[in-house]
């Protein structure tokens, strides 16, 4: 009897131990499953968060006409990295203004503080370079040699590659001019280096052209470039500032060619067009820093580059679109409108029909630039002016009778 009771008690103990063991296994399984569920859920939430960031960026960029186009998985990762690496401040350009090279378009006063009538530290002569350190209202705080002070930024040119590096720059007049008229070369101009605008840029860490425009115009060029990037395109700028001496040489050469070549003469003097429409015979808007000669390209490949804590896009391969003529064709072949219209008006061109020779790409380029606030030149499909910037420097002594000196760009400080 006692043996039977003993075996019963032993069985009960074993049953209890088995029950406890099974309960423990089940409980641990639930914990593991719950942890796996929570982890999976967290991963899903993180994925959704990242996807929302990408979709938000895409939607925002569609609305703002910025550069996000045809987003794939690889591009999504690139954008997410860009979001993480980008600084919190809202930039006015692709890269910050601090560290950019500026140029004086006329003799300007370096001031002790950012107020009108402040004490003058020194004078900066036309063509001299300075480094922009910061901006406050309508003033730049700059370094000029060993001196630091303030400049009225309405009277400052800024170097475009420093702040909009995604644009393609190709200053042909700086190495081999392509000026021609009705396909004929201009004597002592075509194929010649007319000035030197190329130098090593410490900010971008590459040899690049110095292409300055007035600060006000730079903002409009950036708006045009953002529209182009949204369609996987880019502006290609051939020239901004052109020295007065070079302007006069080109004008004289074209006149000489016209007088000796009937084909050139008839190509220029067609309908209401004449020589003055194709090369200014006095000071032009190029000398004022308020004009650019520009084309449009399709971006084939690009890469993301780092500059300190900033990331920017650099075009590595492109195809230039077919335009009415090659760049700097000085004849009626290059006209943008059917007949001349005042280049001093911001609106008169809107009432003139486009020339029949305008290609789709030329029309698109014109739309980018005019919607950004620039005005087209009737006789050259590639030429756009900023008449607001021109008005702001009226009677300020700007004449373009200088050559650009140096590049003093720096990597933006953190």
Quick: pLDDT tens for 271-324. Answer: 999 988 998 888 999 999 999 999 999 999 999 999 989 999 999 999 999 999
pLDDT tens-place string over residues 165-212: 999 999 999 999 999 999 999 999 999 999 999 999 999 999 999 999
Give the pLDDT score at 272: 93
Rounded to 10 degrees, the C-alpha dihedral 394/167/201/147 comes to 30
Give the pLDDT score at 63: 36
**Higher-confidence position of 154 and 80:** 154
Length of the chain: 414
Give the pLDDT score at 179: 98
The band of 93, judged by pLDDT with boundaries at 50, 70 and 90, is very high
Helix, strand, coil percentages in the chain from 3-state DSSP, rounded to 5:
40, 25, 40
Which residue, among 319, 330, 276, 315, has the nearest Cα to 295 in the 3D structure?
Answer: 319
For residue 386, give Cα distances in angstroms to 219, 267, 277, 330, 376.
10, 28, 18, 21, 9
The band of 13, judged by pLDDT with boundaries at 50, 70 and 90, is low
Mean pLDDT, the chain, whole residue set: 85
As a whole number, mean pLDDT of residues 47-72 equals 39
As a whole number, mean pLDDT of residues 91-100 equals 96
Give the pLDDT score at 286: 97
| % of residues, the chain, pLDDT over 90 | 75
Give the pLDDT score at 90: 80
The band of 388, judged by pLDDT with boundaries at 50, 70 and 90, is very high
- DSSP assignments along 91-146, one per residue: PSSSS-STT-EEE-SS-EEEESSSSTTPPEEEEE-TT-EEEEEEEETTEEEEEETT
Q: If residue 200 lies in a helix (H) or strand (E), which one and from where to where?
A: strand 198-201
Q: If residue 81 lies in a helix (H) or strand (E), which one and from where to where?
A: helix 73-85
The band of 22, judged by pLDDT with boundaries at 50, 70 and 90, is low
Top-level CATH class of 161-392?
A: alpha beta
**Higher-confidence position of 73 and 330:** 330
- DSSP assignments along 241-260, one per residue: ---HHHHHHHHHHHHHHHHH
Question: Phi and psi at residue 38, in whole multiples of 5°?
Answer: -65, -40
The band of 15, judged by pLDDT with boundaries at 50, 70 and 90, is low
The band of 328, judged by pLDDT with boundaries at 50, 70 and 90, is very high
Strand, coil or helix: 220: helix
As a whole number, mean pLDDT of residues 112-131 equals 96
Give the pLDDT score at 71: 33
Report the alpha-carbon angle 93-116-96, nearest 5. 15
Question: Phi and psi at residue 92, in whole multiples of 5°?
Answer: -85, -20
Give the pLDDT score at 119: 97
The band of 10, judged by pLDDT with boundaries at 50, 70 and 90, is low
pLDDT tens-place string over residues 220-244: 999 999 999 999 999 999 999 999 9
pLDDT tens-place string over residues 35-56: 443 444 444 344 444 444 334 4
pTM: 0.80
The 8-class DSSP code of residue 297 comes to: E
């Amino acid at each position: 009897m006692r043996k039977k009771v003993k075996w019963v008690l032993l069985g009960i103990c074993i049953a209890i131990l088995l029950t406890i063991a099974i309960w423990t296994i089940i409980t641990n399984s639930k914990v593991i499953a719950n942890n796996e569920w929570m982890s999976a859920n967290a991963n899903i939430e993180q994925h959704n968060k990242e996807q929302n960031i990408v979709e938000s960026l895409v939607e925002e960029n569609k609305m703002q006409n910025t550069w996000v186009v045809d987003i794939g998985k690889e591009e999504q990762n690139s954008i997410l990295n860009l979001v993480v690496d980008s600084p919190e401040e809202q930039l006015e350009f692709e890269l910050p203004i601090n560290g950019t090279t500026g140029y004086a378009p006329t003799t300007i006063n370096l001031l002790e503080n950012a107020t009108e009538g402040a004490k003058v530290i020194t004078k900066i002569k036309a063509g001299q370079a300075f480094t922009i350190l910061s901006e406050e209202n309508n003033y730049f705080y700059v370094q000029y040699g060993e001196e630091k002070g303030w400049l009225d930024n309405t009277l400052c040119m800024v170097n475009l590659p420093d702040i909009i590096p995604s644009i393609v720059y190709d200053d042909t007049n700086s190495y081999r001019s392509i000026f021609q008229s009705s396909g004929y070369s201009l004597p002592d101009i075509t194929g010649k280096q007319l000035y030197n605008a190329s130098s090593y840029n410490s900010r971008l860490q590459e040899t690049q052209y110095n292409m300055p425009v007035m600060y006000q115009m730079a903002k409009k060029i950036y708006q045009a470039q953002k529209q182009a990037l949204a369609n996987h395109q880019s502006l290609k700028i051939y020239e901004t500032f052109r020295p007065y001496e070079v302007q006069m040489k080109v004008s004289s050469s074209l006149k000489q060619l016209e007088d000796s070549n009937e084909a050139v003469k008839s190509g220029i003097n067609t309908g209401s067009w004449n020589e003055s429409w194709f090369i200014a015979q006095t000071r032009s808007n190029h000398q004022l820093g308020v004009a650019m000669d520009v084309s449009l390209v399709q971006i084939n490949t690009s890469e993301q580059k780092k500059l300190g804590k900033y990331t920017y896009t650099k075009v590595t391969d492109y195809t230039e679109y077919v335009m009415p003529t090659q760049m700097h064709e000085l004849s009626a072949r290059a006209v943008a409108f059917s007949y001349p219209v005042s280049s001093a008006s911001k609106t008169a061109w809107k009432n003139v029909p486009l020339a029949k020779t305008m290609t789709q790409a030329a029309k698109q380029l014109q739309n980018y630039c005019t919607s950004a606030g620039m005005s087209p030149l009737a006789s050259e499909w590639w030429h756009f002016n900023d008449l607001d910037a021109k008005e702001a420097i009226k009677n300020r002594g700007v004449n373009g009778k200088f050559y650009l000196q140096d590049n003093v760009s720096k990597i933006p400080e953190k």
